[in-house]
Chain A
Amino acid sequence: MAGPRIACIGVIGKADNPLHIALFPPYSDAMIEFSFLLNSCLDIFEIRRKQTSIDQDLGLLHAIDERLAAYGWLTTTGVKLLIIVDLFGPEATSARLVGPAVSGLRDSDLKPAFRALQSAYIQLLQNPFYSPDDHVPTPGVTAGSASSCQSISNSKFIADVKRIGETWVPGAGV
């Protein structure tokens, strides 16, 4: 079971408001740390966005340490999909590190996961009872107040994200 696995998936709205964050073992309890990591990646989105002719797939955004690396995907509508990959996988404990991470992870390895995420998000939007307006922060209200924009509570979407996070392995479909 060794090898790269997804540690965290973040779906971030147009206004940098978190829509959904999913964590995977062994990081399931590290919400604060990963929120911080995702947040720092948003700045990289901003920088990349200014470059001309950017693709939806932003590839590697940021190698956080030897174990974690953040990859990004920016939809044309400004929704940001982020995947933080654990290059060692959940089996590896920091006690018996197998040398440096498999550096052979290519950007394209993440493509299927991003595509699956995007179609899950599109399916969510197609449900007429999902109202995107509920998930946009009201101008003037500070980002901290929770009432202005909720995260996604749709159980099918959450399950989809969970499935994508759990099944992805490099070089295979999701």
Chain B
Amino acid sequence: MTVYSFYIFDRHAECIYKRRWLPRPTSVAGKPQTQGGPTGLGQTVRASDDDAKLVFGTVFSLRNMVRKLGGDDDNFISYTTNQYKLHYYETPTNIKFVMLTDLKSPSMRIALQQIYINLFVEYVVKNPLSPVEHPGGVGVNNELFEESLEQFVTRVLA
């Protein structure tokens, strides 16, 4: 399986961490030669910033919809398109972990939970030098966290 990208959103709906391992599939990224301007299809090429916002909007709406239909304890776990699979894990403190993988991937819910427990809490939350909140990703982008995430994704999940 392949991991495409990974996002963390904090309780203020801000993307505090994003990471991409492979270029986006062409259907998502638009055609490479059309970068920087509107395409013939009227589609605007998005910067990766916009990706994060889109992802957040999607998971936020889906999670709210799921709770409306399935009750407050219901959780949205993943969705699949023709091109990719989106996995979602949210902590009770409203930190949202999102991972995009290829279609062959099994459920990543446990993996996301592991990232939260073993990497995020250990290396970001417990780092006394990192701020409590992470506007703009401050404190999350530390070497220990990024290295371990890299290892986790490339060795454990691969």
A contacting B, Cβ–Cβ less than 8 Å: no
Interface residues of A (CB under 8 A from B): none
A-contacting residues of B (Cβ < 8 Å)?
none
